[in-house]
C-alpha cells in the first residue's frame, strides 16, 4: 500500500513533532508539500523530507490555489490561523490533522464541525494526551468495569511555573486576543480526557480563575524591563538562565530553529518577547483556574489548572462505585483500588516520545483512520467540538463571577 501523501501547513514545533512519523515510518506517510513563512523552518522541513521545489510554499493560501494534490493536510499554524486554512482544506476535500484548539471562537469551531460533516471529510484534532499509554491504560480500566460506575473525578493540570512563564507569559499564548483563553489553549486536552473517560455529556459547569501572579504588581524591587538590561535580581525566570543556559527547546522556540548559537539567542533576548521581565509583559491569560462540572447520571468533576507548581504533569483521581483509580502522569504509575477485596494494584506505563507517547500514538491512529481502519477512541472533529464547548462555557462562567452555564 502506498504511503499517505501529506502537506504540512506550519512547520514549527508541533508540525515537526508530528512529521517525524514520516521519517520513522516512511511506508506510512510521505510529505509532498510544505507551507511555512519562516525561511529557515521552511527550508529545513523541505530538505528533511525531500520536497520538490514547486511544492514549497510561503503561505497556506498557496497550497489551495490548485486542485487537491495530496491525501491529507496537517494544519499546525498558530491558534488564530486555524480557521481559514481548515475551511479551505475541507472545501477541496482534504482529510485533515488539525492542531488544537480547533479555533479561538465557539462559532468557528461549530462551523468547522458542520463543514466537515457536510463534505464527508475526516478531521482529527490533536488531543494527543488521550493517545498516551498512560491515558489509554486508564480508559481501558474504566471500560473493564473494575471500578464500577464513575461517580466523581478530581483532575489537576500542573502547568509548571517555568513552562507557564515561557509559553503563557512571554510566549505565543500569553494574550487571549492573539491566541485563545488558557482554558481552551492548554486545557482542552483535559476537557477531552474527562469527556472521553466519562463518556457522557457535560450538562452544566461553573468556573473561577485569575491572573494573580505574573503581573507588574509582583515585580521584585530593582527589576528591569528586560533581564538582559543588566537586571541583578536573583529570579527563577531570568532569561539568561532559561535560554542562554537552558533547554534546547526553549532556545529553539525563542530563535525559531534548533541548534541556535549563544549569539543568536542573546540577540533575540535583547530585542524579542522572550527577553522581557516576566512581570512586565502583555500577558492576560489566567495563571490558575478551577472548573466544577456535572455530567449525565450525576457524575461530578472538579478540574484545577495552576501554573504555580514546579513540575509539568497531570494527576487524576477517579472514584467509582466499586473502586478507585489514582494516577500521576510524571510517575507514569496508576494505582487501582478494589472496594470488595480491599486490595490495590499498581500499573507502570512506559512511553517514548513527546506528550508521554501521545505524539507517536496520534500519528499511528491518524494514519490508520485515514486508511479506513477501525480505530478506537479517535479524536475526530465532532467529539472535539463538544469538549471545546466545555472550554468556552468555562471561560464565560469565569468572566461572569462563576455563573452556572447550562450546556444542554
Residue-wise pLDDT for 384-399, tens only, equals 999 999 999 999 999 9
The Cα–Cα gap between 243 and 265 comes to 7
Region 230-256: what's the mean pLDDT?
89
**pLDDT at position 4, please?**
98
Give the model's confidence band at 269: pLDDT under 50 very low, under 70 low, under 90 confident, else very high.
Answer: very high
> For the chain, what is the largest distance between any 2 Cα atoms, rounded to a whole number of angstroms?
66
Predicted confidence band of residue 102 (pLDDT cuts 50, 70, 90) = very high
Q: Which residues contact 52 (CB under 8 A, 6 or more apart)?
A: 32
Percent of the chain beyond pLDDT 70? 100
What's the pLDDT at 151?
98
More confident residue, 82 or 332: 82
Is residue 374's pLDDT more than 80? yes
State mean pLDDT over 357-366: 94
DSSP letter at 296? G
User: Which of 218-227, 246-255, 347-356 has the lowest average pLDDT?
Assistant: 347-356
Give the Cα separation of 384 and 192 in Å (integer). Answer: 7
pLDDT band at residue 142 using 50, 70 and 90 as cut-offs: very high
Q: Is residue 162 scored above 90 in pLDDT?
A: yes
DSSP of 30-47: EEEEEE-SSHHHHHHHHH
- C-alpha grid cell for residue 190? 483535559
Distance CA 159, CA 161 (A): 7
Half-sphere exposure of 361 (CA within 13 A, CB side): 26
Strand order in the sheet with 56-57: 56-57, 29-35, 4-9, 72-75, 95-98, 123-125
Question: Distance of alpha carbon 200 from its chain centroid, rounded?
Answer: 22
Is residue 80 within 8 A of residue 105, CB to CB? The reply is no
CB 396 within 8 A of CB 106: no
How big, in percent rounded to 5, are the helix, strand and coil portions of the chain?
40, 20, 40
- Using the predicted structure, report yes or no on whether residue 408 has a pLDDT greater than 80: no
Residues in a beta bridge with 317? 154, 326
Is residue 351 predicted with pLDDT exceeding 80? no
Q: Taking the complete model, does pTM exceed 0.85, yes or no? A: yes
Can you tell me the mean pLDDT for 288-294?
98
More confident residue, 34 or 330: 34
Q: Are 32 and 70 in contact (CB under 8 A)?
A: yes
Report whether pLDDT(382) > 90.
yes
Q: Is the pLDDT of residue 331 over 80?
A: no
pLDDT bracket for residue 332 (50, 70, 90): confident
pLDDT at 353 over 80: no
Query: Is 256 a residue whose pLDDT tops 90?
Result: no
Question: CB burial class (10 A; 0-12, 13-18, 19+) of residue 65?
Answer: exposed
Q: Nearest 5 degrees, angle CA 117-CA 181-CA 104?
A: 30
- Predicted confidence (pLDDT) per residue in 43-91, tens digit: 999 999 999 999 999 999 999 999 999 999 999 999 899 999 999 999 9
CB-based contacts of 55-62 (< 8 A; 24+ apart in sequence): 55/7, 57/33, 59/35, 60/9, 60/10, 60/35, 60/84, 60/85, 60/88, 61/88, 62/35
Mean confidence (pLDDT) of the chain:
94
What was the pLDDT predicted at 159? 95
What SS3 class is residue 213?
A: coil
Looking up cell 535580581, which residue turns up? 233
pLDDT of amino acid 276: 96
pLDDT higher than 90, residue 247: no
For 256, other C-beta atoms within 10 Å of its C-beta total: 16
Q: Which domains does the chain have, with CATH numbers?
A: 4-125 (3.40.50.720), 129-214+283-406 (3.30.360.10), 216-275 (no CATH)
Could you tell me if 211 and 286 are in contact, meaning their C-beta atoms sit under 8 angstroms apart? yes
Q: Which residue has the higher pLDDT, 148 or 349?
A: 148
List, in sequence order, the alpha helices (H) in 256-349: 262-271
Where does 179-287 show beta strands of DSSP type E? 202-210
Going by C-alpha positions, the residue among 68, 65, 100, 102 that lies closest to residue 83 is 102
- What is the C-alpha to C-alpha distance for residues 320 and 325, in angstroms, rounded to an integer? 8
pLDDT of residue 325: 98
Distance of alpha carbon 241 from alpha carbon 175, whole angstroms = 24
Write down the pLDDT at residue 392: 97
Amino acid at each position: 500500500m502506498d504511503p499517505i501523501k501529506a502537506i504540512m501547513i506550519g512547520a514549527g514545533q508541533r508540525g515537526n513533532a508530528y512529521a517525524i512519523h514520516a521519517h520513522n515510518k516512511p511506508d506510512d506517510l510521505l510529505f509532498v508539500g510544505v507551507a511555512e513563512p519562516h525561511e529557515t523552518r521552511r527550508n529545513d522541513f523541505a530538505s528533511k523530507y525531500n520536497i520538490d521545489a514547486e511544492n514549497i510554499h510561503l503561505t497556506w493560501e498557496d497550497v489551495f490555489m490548485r486542485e487537491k494534490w495530496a491525501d491529507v493536510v496537517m494544519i499546525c499554524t498558530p491558534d488564530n490561523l486555524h480557521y481559514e486554512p481548515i475551511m479551505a482544506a475541507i472545501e477541496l476535500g482534504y482529510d485533515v490533522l488539525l492542531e488544537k484548539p480547533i479555533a479561538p471562537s465557539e462559532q468557528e469551531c461549530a462551523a468547522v464541525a458542520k463543514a466537515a460533516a457536510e463534505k464527508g471529510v475526516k478531521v482529527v484534532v490533536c488531543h494527543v494526551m488521550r493517545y498516551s499509554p498512560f491515558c489509554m491504560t486508564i480508559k481501558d480500566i474504566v471500560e473493564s468495569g473494575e471500578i464500577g460506575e464513575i461517580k466523581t473525578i478530581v483532575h489537576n493540570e500542573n502547568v509548571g511555573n517555568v513552562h507557564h512563564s515561557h509559553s503563557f507569559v512571554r510566549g505565543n499564548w500569553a494574550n487571549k486576543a492573539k491566541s485563545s483563553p488558557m482554558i481552551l489553549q492548554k486545557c482542552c486536552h483535559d476537557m477531552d480526557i474527562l469527556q472521553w473517560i466519562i463518556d457522557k455529556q457535560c450538562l452544566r459547569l461553573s468556573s473561577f480563575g485569575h491572573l494573580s501572579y505574573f503581573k507588574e504588581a509582583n515585580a521584585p524591587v530593582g527589576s528591569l524591563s528586560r533581564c538582559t538590561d543588566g537586571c541583578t535580581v536573583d529570579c527563577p525566570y531570568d532569561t539568561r538562565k532559561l535560554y542562554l543556559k537552558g533547554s534546547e527547546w526553549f532556545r529553539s522556540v525563542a530563535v525559531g530553529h534548533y541548534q541556535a548559537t549563544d549569539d543568536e539567542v542573546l540577540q533575540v533576548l535583547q530585542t524579542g518577547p522572550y527577553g522581557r521581565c516576566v512581570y512586565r509583559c502583555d500577558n492576560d491569560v489566567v495563571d490558575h483556574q478551577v472548573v466544577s462540572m456535572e455530567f449525565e447520571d450525576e457524575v461530578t468533576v472538579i478540574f484545577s489548572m495552576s501554573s504555580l507548581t514546579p513540575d509539568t504533569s497531570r494527576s487524576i483521581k477517579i472514584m467509582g462505585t466499586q473502586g478507585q483509580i489514582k494516577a500521576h502522569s510524571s510517575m507514569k504509575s496508576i494505582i487501582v483500588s478494589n472496594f470488595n477485596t480491599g486490595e490495590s494494584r499498581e500499573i507502570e506505563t512506559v512511553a517514548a516520545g513527546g506528550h508521554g507517547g501521545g505524539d507517536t500514538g496520534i500519528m499511528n491512529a491518524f494514519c490508520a483512520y485515514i486508511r479506513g481502519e477501525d480505530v478506537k477512541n479517535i479524536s475526530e472533529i465532532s467529539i472535539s467540538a463538544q469538549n471545546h464547548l466545555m472550554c468556552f462555557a468555562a471561560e464565560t462562567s469565569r468572566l461572569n463571577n462563576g455563573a452556572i452555564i447550562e450546556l444542554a
